[in-house]
């Protein structure tokens, strides 16, 4: 059994930003062993020695929610809009986000965010065709990743559809969202929103819209707008607009048209 000192050295190298292969090269350990430790599956003598705390729910190293990168907030927006988490064998969960095939840059952003949030897990893409009658060719891409920790990171996970149950951010998520409200809006717009040209008889200018059936998710979108002092309006029960020219220009600075 490896010593607690060896495990601590590996985790310290990870905190310095090194990946599993580089850590294995420096320490002489097998890559698979390093990946297990980075995922929280550390030797019992290390856990019992009090060197590191583990999450009682998933077994990963205790989650440092306050140190999550802004990529987490972006991924949270994608998950709330078009994501789901499903249970698999041996306590493993699969996070899936469904994105439009026409916007490859958004697909790339989603994959990068998953890798940043869960660097020890593989990210996969699955191209799908539309489910509506007469659909031909590829229409959406499923970006996914397996981990025991996904329900810990997205406590909104639960049985049934999101719009049929209460959805709200927990305290640590609110703190992260307040730090990076633009990333949350970007994820929400990239999943369930759009930028389009609003026109009248003698005028035309861009406008942002966000549509979702969940009252809780709509509230989260509005709270993020409030954090950035963006004016928003409602249309019906499920749509929020950001229409003022100055506010659209601010959103264009970090969102812009989908690509």
3-state secondary structure the chain: CCCHHHHHHHHHHHHCCCCHHHHHHHHCCCHHHHHHHHCCCCCHHHHHCCCCCECCCCCCECCCHHHCCHHHHHHHHHHHHHEEEEECHHHCEEEEEEEECCCHHHHHHHHHHHHHHCCCCCEEEEEEECCCCCCCCEEEEEEEEEECCHHHHCCCCCCCCHHHCCCCCCHHHHHHHHHCHHHHHHHHHHHHEEEEEEECCCCEEEEEEEECCCHHHHHHHHHHHHHCCCCCEEECCCEEEECCHHHHHHHHCCCCCCC
pLDDT at 68: 93
List the domain boundaries for the chain.
Answer: 4-48, 65-166
pLDDT 10s per residue in the chain (259 long)? 577 778 888 888 887 778 889 999 988 899 999 988 888 787 765 655 555 566 778 877 778 899 899 999 999 999 999 999 999 998 899 999 999 999 999 999 999 999 999 988 899 999 987 665 555 567 899 999 999 999 999 999 999 899 999 999 999 999 999 999 999 999 999 999 999 999 888 889 999 999 999 999 999 999 999 999 999 999 989 999 999 999 999 999 999 999 9
Write the CATH number of the domain with boundaries 65-166.
3.10.28.10
pLDDT at 44: 64
pLDDT at 83: 97
pLDDT at 130: 64
């Amino acid at each position: 059994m490896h010593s607690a000192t060896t495990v601590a050295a590996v985790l310290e190298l990870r905190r310095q930003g090194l990946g599993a292969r580089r850590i294995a090269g420096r320490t002489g350990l097998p890559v698979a062993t390093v990946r297990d430790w980075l995922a929280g599956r550390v030797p019992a003598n290390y856990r019992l020695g009090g060197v590191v705390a583990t999450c009682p729910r998933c077994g990963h190293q205790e989650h440092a929610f306050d140190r999550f990168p802004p990529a987490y907030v972006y991924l949270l927006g994608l998950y709330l809009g078009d994501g789901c988490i499903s249970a698999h064998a041996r306590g493993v969960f699969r996070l899936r986000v469904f994105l439009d095939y026409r916007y490859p840059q958004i697909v790339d952003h989603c994959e990068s965010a998953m890798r940043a949030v869960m660097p020890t897990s593989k990210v996969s893409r699955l191209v799908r065709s539309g489910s509506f009658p007469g659909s031909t060719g590829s229409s959406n891409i499923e970006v996914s990743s397996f981990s025991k920790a996904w329900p810990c990171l997205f406590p909104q996970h639960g049985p049934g559809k999101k719009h049929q149950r209460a959805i709200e951010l927990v305290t640590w998520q609110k703190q992260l969202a307040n730090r990076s409200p633009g990333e949350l809006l970007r994820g929400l717009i990239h999943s369930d929103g759009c930028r389009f040209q609003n026109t009248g008889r003698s005028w035309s200018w861009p406008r942002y819209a966000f549509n979702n059936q969940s009252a809780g998710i709509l509230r989260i979108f509005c709270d993020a707008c409030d954090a950035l002092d963006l004016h928003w309006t409602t249309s019906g029960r499920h749509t929020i607009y950001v229409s003022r020219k100055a506010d659209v220009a601010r959103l264009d600075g970090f969102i812009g048209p989908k690509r």
